[in-house]
């Protein structure tokens, strides 16, 4: 699998052409554009076909085609998903997805199928696979909601740890100041008592 999660801004121009009767729409995602549910989608439902011309790697002209939306079915067959009609190309990767790619090499078809109940407004995503992740996402840091949440949690934990250290340091510093104050007070009290004693 070789297709990418980022999209050209020129894709926006096709947005008005999308039928409203579909269970999805193209919309703004954190990482660019994405595909969003417009109605409840039940787990197991076929949402959309990953559509495009079939490329045969044995044909040099086909093999030379390179774009962000190539979906490898097997060693020989690849779907060129860069065509405008293929709205499935907007679906972003997630490490904890709500859909999966149902790859059928014999039929030379790929369907995106819900693996969870999806609510209207939810972004639809699937796992692009280990090879893709290692090659493209790991080096730059995966921006999927699951990884973002993980990073957010790690940042919060680091913040909490820093706060703890700071509080400890401040407590120690305060204890030091208190000690200094006490000495002064003692000195004062001592001198007063001394004064009284002298009077």
Show contacts with Zn ion in window 92-131 (CB under 5 A): 95
Q: Are the C-beta atoms of 50 and 70 separated by less than 8 Å? A: no
153 HSE (CA, 13 A, CB side): 6
Is the Cβ–Cβ distance between 28 and 106 less than 8 Å?
no
Q: Which of residues 37-96 bind Zn ion (CB under 5 A)?
A: 95
Instruction: Name the minimum Å distance from CB 95 to Zn ion.
Output: 3
CB of 82 vs Zn ion, minimal distance in Å: 24
Site string for Zn ion, 140-169 (x = CB under 5 A): --x-x--x----------------------
Beta strands in 30-155 (DSSP E): 32-37, 46-50, 54-56, 70-72, 77-80, 92-93, 99-104, 109-114, 123-126
Nearer to Zn ion, 35 or 142 (CB): 142
Q: Which is nearer to Zn ion, 77 or 133 (CB)?
A: 133
Least distance in angstroms from the C-beta of 132 to Zn ion: 11
Q: Nearest distance from residue 94's CB to Zn ion, in Å?
A: 6
Total residues contacting Zn ion (rule CB under 5 A)? 4
Closer of 151 and 182 to Zn ion (Cβ)? 151
CA-to-CA distance for 81 and 112, rounded, in angstroms? 13
- Looking only at Cα atoms, what is the longest distance across the chain? 113
**Site residues (vs Zn ion, CB under 5 A):** 95, 142, 144, 147
């Amino acid at each position: 699998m070789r297709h990418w999660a980022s999209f050209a801004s020129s894709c926006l121009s096709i947005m008005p052409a999308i039928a409203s009767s579909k269970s999805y729409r193209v919309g703004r995602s954190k990482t660019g554009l994405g595909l969003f549910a417009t109605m409840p989608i039940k787990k197991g439902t076929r949402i959309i076909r990953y559509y495009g011309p079939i490329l045969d790697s044995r044909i040099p002209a086909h093999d030379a085609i390179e774009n962000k939306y190539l979906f490898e079915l097997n060693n020989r067959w690849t779907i060129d998903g860069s065509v405008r009609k293929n709205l499935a190309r907007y679906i972003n990767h997630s490490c904890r997805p709500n859909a999966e790619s149902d790859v059928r090499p014999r039929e030379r078809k790929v369907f995106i199928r819900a693996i969870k109940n999806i609510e209207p407004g939810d972004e639809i995503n699937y796992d692009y696979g280990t090879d893709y992740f290692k090659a493209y996402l790991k080096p730059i840091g995966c921006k999927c909601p699951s990884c973002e949440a993980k990073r957010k949690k790690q940042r919060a934990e680091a913040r909490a740890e820093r706060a703890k250290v700071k509080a400890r340091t401040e407590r120690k510093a305060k204890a030091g100041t208190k000690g200094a104050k006490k000495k002064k007070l003692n000195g004062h009290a001592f001198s007063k008592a001394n004064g009284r004693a002298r009077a």
